[in-house]
Amino acid sequence: MVMAADPPVIVWFRRDLRLADNPALARAAAAGRPLICLYILDETAGVRREGAASRWWLDKSLTSLARDLETIGGHLVLRRGVSAAVLAALIAETGADSVFWNRLYDGGSVERDAAIKAALGATGVECRSFNAALLNEPWEVIGKSAGPYRVFSAYWRAARAVSSSAAPDAAPKRLVAAPRPRSETLASWNLHPRRPDWSQGFAGWTPGESGARQRLDAFLNDAANAYSSRRNRPDVEGTSRLSPHLHFGEIGPRQVWAAIHDAAAIGRVSEREGDTFLRELGWREFNHHLLFHRPDLAKNNLDARFDTFAWRRDDGGFEAWTRGRTGFAMVDAGMRQLWRTGWMHNRARMVAASFLVKDLMIDWRRGEAWFWDTLVDADIANNAANWQWVAGSGADAAPFFRVFNPTLQAEKFDPDGSYARDWIPELSGSSAGAYPPPIVDHALARERALTAYRSLTT
Starting at the earlier edge strand, list the strands of the sheet with 35-42. Answer: 76-81, 35-42, 9-13, 98-102, 126-130
The only residue of 61, 98, 109, 240 in contact with ligand FAD, by rule CB under 6 A: 240
From the CB of 223, what's the least distance to ligand FAD, in Å? 8
Determine whether 346 is an active site residue.
Answer: yes
> Hey, is 282 helix, strand or coil?
helix
Residue 74 or 368 having the CB closest to ligand FAD: 368
User: In this structure, is the dihedral angle defined by the CA atoms of residues 260, 264, 269 and 275, taken in order, positive or negative?
Assistant: positive
Are 239 and 346 a contacting pair, CB within 8 Å? yes
Determine whether 156 is an active site residue.
Answer: no
State how far the Cα of 269 lies from the Cα of 261, in Å rounded to an integer: 9
Determine whether 56 is an active site residue.
Answer: no
Determine whether 57 is an active site residue.
Answer: no
Q: By CB under 6 A, tell whether 241 contacts ligand FAD.
A: yes
Q: By CB under 6 A, tell whether 24 contacts ligand FAD.
A: no
From the CB of 173, what's the least distance to ligand FAD, in Å? 29
Q: By CB under 6 A, tell whether 263 contacts ligand FAD.
A: no
Contacts (CB under 6 A) with ligand FAD, residues 287-316: 287
From the CB of 55, what's the least distance to ligand FAD, in Å? 15
Site string for ligand FAD, 172-201 (x = CB under 6 A): ------------------------------
Contacts (CB under 6 A) with ligand FAD, residues 133-162: none
Catalytic residue among 57, 101, 372, 387: 387
Contacts (CB under 6 A) with ligand FAD, residues 217-236: 231
Determine whether 136 is an active site residue.
Answer: no
Q: By CB under 6 A, tell whether 326 contacts ligand FAD.
A: no
Determine whether 423 is an active site residue.
Answer: no
Residue 83 or 287 having the CB closest to ligand FAD: 287
Write the DSSP assignment of 73-108 as a string of letters. Answer: T--EEEEEE-HHHHHHHHHHHH---EEEEE---SHH
Least Cα distance to 83 among 123, 119, 113 occurs for 113
Contacts (CB under 6 A) with ligand FAD, residues 361-390: 371, 375, 377-379, 382-383, 386-387, 390
Catalytic residue among 111, 137, 198, 346: 346
The only residue of 37, 350, 360, 362 in contact with ligand FAD, by rule CB under 6 A: 350
Contacts (CB under 6 A) with ligand FAD, residues 68-127: none
State how far the Cα of 268 lies from the Cα of 48, in Å rounded to an integer: 40
Q: Quick one: angle between helices 315-323 and 364-374, nearest 10? A: 30
Residue 280 or 422 having the CB closest to ligand FAD: 280
CA distances, 229 to each of 134, 164, 215, 226, 236 (Å): 27, 29, 20, 6, 11
Residues in contact with ligand FAD, total (CB under 6 A)? 27
Q: Which helix (H) or strand (E) holds 140?
A: none
CA 400 to chain centre: 26
Q: By CB under 6 A, tell whether 239 contacts ligand FAD.
A: yes
Write the DSSP symbol of residue 313.
-
Q: By CB under 6 A, tell whether 56 contacts ligand FAD.
A: no
The two beta strands, 9-13 and 35-42, are parallel
- Identify each DSSP E strand in 4-91 by its residue range: 9-13, 35-42, 76-81
The only residue of 47, 125, 134, 246 in contact with ligand FAD, by rule CB under 6 A: 246
> Hey, is 142 helix, strand or coil?
coil
Q: By CB under 6 A, tell whether 283 contacts ligand FAD.
A: yes
Residue 178 or 224 having the CB closest to ligand FAD: 224
What lies within 8 Å, CB to CB, of 294 at 6+ separation is: 148, 302
Question: How much of the chain is in helix, strand and coil states, percent to nearest 5?
Answer: 50, 5, 40
Q: Catalytic site residues?
A: 280, 283, 311, 346, 364, 387
Residues that bind ligand FAD (CB under 6 A): 231, 239-243, 246-247, 280-281, 283-284, 287, 346, 349-350, 353, 371, 375, 377-379, 382-383, 386-387, 390
